[in-house]
Structure 1
Amino acid sequence: MAPELTTARWLRRVDRADGPIYLAILRALETAIADGELQPGEQLPPQRTVASVLGVDFTTVTRAYSAARARGLVEGAVGRGTFVAGRPADDEVGMVDLSMNLPPPSKGLNFGTLLKDTARAVLERTDAQALMAYHPGAGSVAQKAAAATWLAPCLGEVSPERMLVTPGAQTALATILGMITRRGDALIVEPLTYPGVRALAAHLGLRLVPCPVDSQGFAPEHLARLCAQERPQAIYCIPTLQNPTATTMGLERRREVAAIARAAGVAIIEDDAYGRLPVAPLPALATFAPDLTWYVATTSKCLSPGLRTAFVAAPTPGAARDLSEALRAISLMASPLTAAIATAWIREGAAERLLAAIRAEAAERQAIARAILPQAQGEADGIHLWLDLPDHWPGERLREVAHRRGLSLVTADAFAAGQVHPNGLRISLGGPAKQSVLAEALRGVAVILAARPDDTRLVV
């Protein structure tokens, strides 16, 4: 096989002993698509090329391609070739992903059309060469102003001089931690925390110090004690719709946490990934201690992960300039096109419409989840929920059983900041394209949890 024919590799799957050759080609193509070897939109090799590679006549390949087209596996474009068809929303097959926290499909709003229209408008009114060139600084003045507008429901009025545009929250968190900590420093976190921060702490040589929590977040007396004993460089937390437990820190507790940090002279890193999801968000921690807080808000959980755009409100304009220089050393700049799209959506109101559509779908999915798993904890505005597990269901065994039943799950050990932590399961509701697929997956989780780990009936 010629090395350049990368989309012809699936032909190795053709089993000549598997009935008529055209059906063998069809089955090989179907399996390659189901396994993800061929992705929607990929162009298949020309029929004459396939005939040559397999050593069969042209009409056999034509028959196989025609059968694939009839089944909706491929689609043809006159003069362009044959392409793998996009998967219809009601034909979800294979592993159902309940592990990745994605915003659900936007209810009543065509995301694809919105994205295409905005990208086209951006390119029509902007010189493409200039847009896609290198850009100094962490965002233009217009982008920073748009960021301040977008975050106003959580932060109130913030000067654009304190705002930065970054290529995702992980880049922002890595850069902030790299600036304000040194190897061996302590970082106070919740007992179950964002896996990305666990990875960053390991990379930077930081000590994660889990602080006990209650239903409102950090327990104040424990936080004050740890600040005095451990002398941490920073406190990291997710106050709104915490990942993974889906709890939200109350207003008074936010004031208490800010007061403890101020008394100890400790910086706060507020990861507000889900802050814009609630219709009426609580004031951010940063509003109570703006001069101590690095506020990070990604668009990945409330608009789209593909934007790869996050906003940071630094404690001061000077701190913003320092972070801008550090970001440039690490990532150079955010993607100009996606940052321009995010800015256009905010300025033109499309971001709020998209957010409202995501909220509507999330609320319906939360209702489905509550009906099937009433013991789960979550809020109507959230895109994930938390389920406490009995001790007899260890995370590794649960993931193994779920995988065999076609479900991808993530358990507490992925979030644990220390040896002692709750045993539980985070269920993400946004992955499946259709509510019916989500409901069936949640029923599968319920069936697993109703049995014991050694029940042989769980293996299908």
Structure 2
Amino acid sequence: MTASNARWLRRVDRGRRPIYLGVLHALEAAIAEGELQAGQQLPPQRALAAELGVDLTTVTRAYAAARARGLVEGTVGRGTFVAGGAGEDEAGLVDLSMNLPPPPLGLALDRLLKDAARQVLERADPAVLMAYHPAGGSLAQRAAGAAWLAPCIGQVETERVLVVPGAQAALAALLRLLAEPGETVLVEPLTYPGLRAATAHLGVGLTPCPVDGEGMIPEELARLCARSRPKAVYLIPTHQNPTAATMGSARRAQVAQVCAAAGVPIIEDDAYGRLPAAPLPGFAALTPGNVWRLETLAKTLTPGLRIAFVVAPDDGAARRLALALRATSIMPSPLCAAIATAWISDGVAERLLAGVRAETAARQALAREILPAARGEPEAIHLWLDLPAHWPAERVRTAAQARGLSLVGAEAFAVTPDVPPGLRLSLGGTARRARLEEALRSLAALLAEEPAGRLVV
């Protein structure tokens, strides 16, 4: 045991009973005050038990409680580490607005990333790794992408798969291929802000299609395809962003048939498709010749890799998209693409996904307990909360900010101004589950109050 990882032991209240709570509270205080930093290794359990003069089960229980609160992460053979990055911005706000996966339960992402980077650098010639690479990725990288996509769309030819530097770059390139300025894309009334930004930049219009609890209504979609002559239909079929709705298998088949009959291609943005343990078949498995499938690793593993995969309808379409990508983003980062490929090939990506899925399920259960009116699938990293009529969205955000919460409302996702008020609550923005619980309880208490200055007669 080194002095650097044991100074916090002076905080342990030895008079506390049970003693494991004294260890837990000391650890929590040391992390909160910055004495222990993210990624710092804690003493081995046996060494800590000997230092404190307690039995091993006491320390084991304290570490388990700290892990349950999201304070620490442990991996067999490596030890226990302080959990990474707290989800607070520069103003000290708990971020419930940014959609990213939570830290994987039982795994240290930073350690896995360091190991992967070291292995990639040991295996590859740095001069080759840091040179220019083909737009769309190498054959090995495309094959890894096809393997990652298989649970949702089955086996797909590697020639149809492209490795791209993030979903936003792929969306911008796709829109340039499919639509001209002044033309339109059909979307749900609340949709991904990145699509709104890309279409606004390119001068492409967005036409909302009426929805129900599963997404686009097939009859309304058919009517709009005939009337508006859209250049594409954009869908997020699993854990829709922001409403968290999932389109069922039967509805997917109906929507796919409508689009195929109308000759309108589908952009299937299935960012969350791998989160369910039993994923539903993607549109690219239903009508592959009419679907551009986009799947990013940002929502299932980590956004920092900036790696996504696109499955084109055919080989020729893949080549056209590769040219469009090369004109704008040149290529995906070779190092990030190599790490993603290694993780997928070695099975690490599936372990990470399982850890994210497990932590997400625990956070969803917590959220449903605190905010029972919120809607979200058990494995979704976000949920949707309709706002009470007496709480205008802007007033909620202002009041929440005063309580240390960062929120995002329906207007950030709305295609038209006449959408019901609501909040998308992201569950992965804060690393610590206990911090998330505090934030959700604070929000619940806020919504239970009357808005300041509201006139009641």
State TM-score, norm by structure 2: 0.80
- SS where residue 282 of structure 1 aligns? coil
- Match for residue 132 of structure 1? 130
1:158 to 146, 156, 159: 156
Is the 1:92–1:437 Cα contact (8 Å) retained in structure 2? no
- How well do the aligned residues superpose, as a CA RMSD in angstroms? 1.9
Is the 2:86–2:430 Cα contact (8 Å) retained in structure 1? no
- Match for residue 167 of structure 1? 165
- SS where residue 280 of structure 1 aligns? coil
- Match for residue 420 of structure 1? 418
Offset, 1:287: 1.2
- SS where residue 268 of structure 2 aligns? strand
1:245 to 243, 246, 255: 243
The gaps in structure 2 that reach 5 residues or longer are 1-31, 40-81
Offset, 1:176: 0.2
1:374 to 364, 372, 391: 372
1:291 to 276, 289, 292: 289
1:189 to 187, 190, 194: 187
Write the distance in 2 (CA, Å) between the matches of 1:270 and 1:264. 17
CA change 1:90–1:190 in 2 (3 A) is: closer
- Match for residue 333 of structure 1? 331
Offset, 1:91: 10
- Match for residue 61 of structure 2? none
Corresponding letter in the other structure for 2:255 = V
- Match for residue 267 of structure 2? 269
Offset, 1:89: 6.5
Corresponding letter in the other structure for 2:354 = A
Corresponding letter in the other structure for 1:318 = G
- Match for residue 178 of structure 2? 180
Corresponding letter in the other structure for 1:151 = L
Offset, 1:88: 7.2
Cα deviation 1:336-393 (Å, max 9, x = unaligned) = 0010000000000000000000001000000110110011101111100000112332
- SS where residue 360 of structure 1 aligns? helix
The gaps in structure 1 that reach 5 residues or longer are 1-33, 42-85
In the alignment, is residue 313 of structure 1 matched against residue 273 of structure 2? Answer: no
In the alignment, is residue 301 of structure 1 matched against residue 299 of structure 2? Answer: yes
Write the distance in 1 (CA, Å) between the matches of 2:246 and 2:427. 18
Corresponding letter in the other structure for 2:248 = G
- Match for residue 147 of structure 1? 145
Cα deviation 1:6-28 (Å, max 9, x = unaligned) = xxxxxxxxxxxxxxxxxxxxxxx
In the alignment, is residue 209 of structure 1 matched against residue 207 of structure 2? Answer: yes
Between the aligned residues of both structures, percent identity stands at: 61
- SS where residue 360 of structure 2 aligns? helix
1:444 to 442, 445, 448: 442
Corresponding letter in the other structure for 2:328 = I
Is the 1:188–1:208 Cα contact (8 Å) retained in structure 2? yes
2:107 to 106, 109, 117: 109
- SS where residue 111 of structure 2 aligns? helix
Q: Rg bigger for which structure?
A: 1
Is the 2:87–2:95 Cα contact (8 Å) retained in structure 1? no
Corresponding letter in the other structure for 2:343 = W
More deviation in 359-368 or 413-422? 413-422
More deviation in 200-209 or 320-329? 200-209
Runs of 4+ in 1 over 4 A off after TM superposition: 86-93
Is the 1:195–1:414 Cα contact (8 Å) retained in structure 2? yes
In the alignment, is residue 232 of structure 1 matched against residue 230 of structure 2? Answer: yes
Write the distance in 2 (CA, Å) between the matches of 1:207 and 1:453. 37
Corresponding letter in the other structure for 1:244 = P
Alignment of 1:337-416 (within 5 A): 337-416=335-414
State TM-score, norm by structure 1: 0.79
